[in-house]
């Protein structure tokens, strides 16, 4: 009988929920979603625009997440606010790292402007357009003994005002000076090893050959 009653009347209908407009997400949640999507992005799209040209070719690179500048391998230069960091490596390349702007909602990408000081004037170098998922960029080669100035400008969708640009200045150590320092270090280490061997040899000769024989008749 219970089964027959269940077949006749059926299960109770589920309670209906009132359907209404979805409440808008808070700015903090939207910003967190944007940052999470950028962190999960496996590639960084960028475009290098040479000086005097209309546009460049679209390229992709793998982000260098988790990179930390050690004192022996590179030297870090920070912008006044600390949002942009230029890690000058020993091989002459520069790895730029930056934090996402606040708020990150409506972020479309970044524009990286580059210039360097000459003898009498400042010269512009190639500018780079980066996607919103990019958090670093590698300058493969930088001229030695030249002062660079790099400015990172976030691009946001209108009508939001663009955040201020972050600029960092640094000077790359010339390659010739690095080679001289390495060579002097190697020569100094070799001289120290030779002096140690000479001291041991003198001590051995003094102890075994120059001292009088013990128990002479």
How many domains are contained in the chain?
Answer: 2
| Within a domain: 3 | no
Over 60: is that where the pLDDT of 88 sits? yes
**Same domain for 166 and 178:** no
Digit-coded pLDDT (tens) for 130-139: 999 999 999 8
Q: Are 204 and 196 in contact (CB under 8 A)?
A: no
**Same domain for 157 and 77:** yes
Q: What is the mean pLDDT of residues 67-80?
A: 88
Q: Are 154 and 130 in contact (CB under 8 A)?
A: no
* Full domain range(s) for residue 200: 174-204
| Within a domain: 26 | no
**Same domain for 182 and 139:** no
Q: Which residue has the higher pLDDT, 104 or 92?
A: 92
Q: Which residue has the higher pLDDT, 26 or 137?
A: 137
User: Where are any strands of DSSP class E within the chain?
Assistant: 44-49, 58-61, 74-78, 84-89, 94-98, 107-117, 122-124, 127-131, 136-139, 147-156, 166-171
**Same domain for 55 and 108:** yes
Summary mean pLDDT of the chain = 76
**Same domain for 181 and 97:** no
**Same domain for 185 and 88:** no
Q: What is the 3-state secondary structure (H, E, C) of 29-61?
A: HHHHHHHHHHHHCCCEEEEEECCCCCCCCEEEE
Over 70: is that where the pLDDT of 23 sits? no
**Same domain for 198 and 96:** no
Rg, Å, the chain Cα set? 33
Q: What is the mean pLDDT of residues 73-91?
A: 91
Q: What is the mean pLDDT of residues 110-132?
A: 88
**Same domain for 150 and 60:** yes
Among 12-16, 120-124, 136-140, top mean pLDDT goes to 136-140
- Give the lowest-confidence range in 11-15, 87-91, 180-184: 11-15
């Amino acid at each position: 009988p219970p089964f027959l009653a269940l077949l006749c009347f059926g299960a109770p209908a589920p309670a209906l929920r009132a359907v209404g407009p979805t409440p808008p997400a808070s700015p903090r949640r939207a910003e967190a979603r944007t940052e999470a999507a950028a962190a999960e992005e496996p590639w960084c799209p960028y475009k290098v625009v040479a000086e005097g040209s209309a546009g460049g070719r679209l390229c992709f690179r793998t982000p260098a997440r988790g990179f930390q500048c050690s004192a022996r391998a590179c030297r870090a230069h920070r912008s006044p606010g600390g949002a942009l960091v230029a890690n000058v490596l020993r091989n002459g390349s520069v790895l730029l790292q930056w934090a996402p702007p606040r708020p990150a909602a409506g972020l479309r990408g970044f524009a990286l402007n580059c210039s360097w000081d000459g003898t009498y004037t400042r010269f512009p170098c190639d500018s780079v357009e980066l996607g919103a998922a990019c958090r670093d960029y590698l300058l493969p080669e930088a001229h030695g003994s030249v002062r660079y100035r790099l400015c990172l400008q976030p691009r946001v969708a209108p009508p939001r005002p663009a955040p201020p640009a972050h600029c960092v200045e640094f000077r790359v150590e010339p390659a010739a000076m690095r080679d001289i320092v390495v060579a002097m270090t190697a020569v100094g280490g070799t001289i120290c090893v030779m002096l140690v061997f000479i001291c041991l040899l003198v001590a051995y000769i003094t102890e075994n050959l120059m001292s009088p024989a013990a128990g002479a008749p």
